[in-house]
Amino acid sequence: MTIRDDFLTTARIALDLMRSPQVAENWDKPSALPEFGVSGLAGHIGYQALPLPSMIETPIGDEPVVSLMEHYARANWTDLDVDSEFHTRIRAGGEKLAAQGQDDLCDRFERTLEELAETLPGLDNRPVRMPHWGPWAVPLDEYLLSRLMEFVVHSDDLAVSVGLDTPEFPGHVNEAVLGLLTRMALTKHSAVDLVRAFSRKERAPQDITAF
Per-residue pLDDT reduced to its tens digit, 87-104? 788 888 899 999 999 999
Question: Is residue 46 within a helix (H) or strand (E), and if so which, with residue range?
Answer: helix 38-47
Residue 195 in any domain: the answer is: no
* CA 156 to chain CA mean position, Å: 11
Torsion sign (Cα): 148, 149, 151, 155: positive
Residue 179 in any domain: the answer is: no
Give the N- to C-terminal CA distance of the chain in Å, as an integer. Answer: 28
Residue 57 in any domain: the answer is: yes
Which amino acid belongs to residue 104?
A: D
Residue 184 in any domain: the answer is: no
Residue 49 in any domain: the answer is: yes
Per-residue pLDDT reduced to its tens digit, 11-57? 999 999 999 999 999 999 999 998 899 999 999 999 999 999 999 99
Query: How many domains in the chain?
Result: 1
Q: Where does the pLDDT of residue 77 fall: very low under 50, low under 70, confident under 90, or very high at 90 and above?
A: confident
Give the closest residue to 127 by CA, choosing from 114, 144, 140, 145.
140
Give the closest residue to 118 by CA, choosing from 8, 2, 19, 3.
8
pLDDT reported for residue 133: 83
Contact between residue 149 and residue 173 where contact means Cβ atoms under 8 Å apart: no
Residue 191 in any domain: the answer is: no
- Cα dihedral: 29, 144, 85, 66 (round 10): 170
Query: What is the crossing angle of helices 3-18 and 38-47, to 10°?
Result: 160
Contact between residue 69 and residue 183 where contact means Cβ atoms under 8 Å apart: yes
Taking the C-alpha atoms of residue 109 and residue 16, their distance in angstroms, rounded to an integer, is 11
**What's the whole-number average pLDDT of the chain?**
94
114 vs 130, residue with greater confidence? 114
Write out the residue range of the structural domain in which residue 40 sits: 3-166
- Rounded to an integer, the average pLDDT of 170-199 is 95
Q: 30: which strand partners?
A: 37
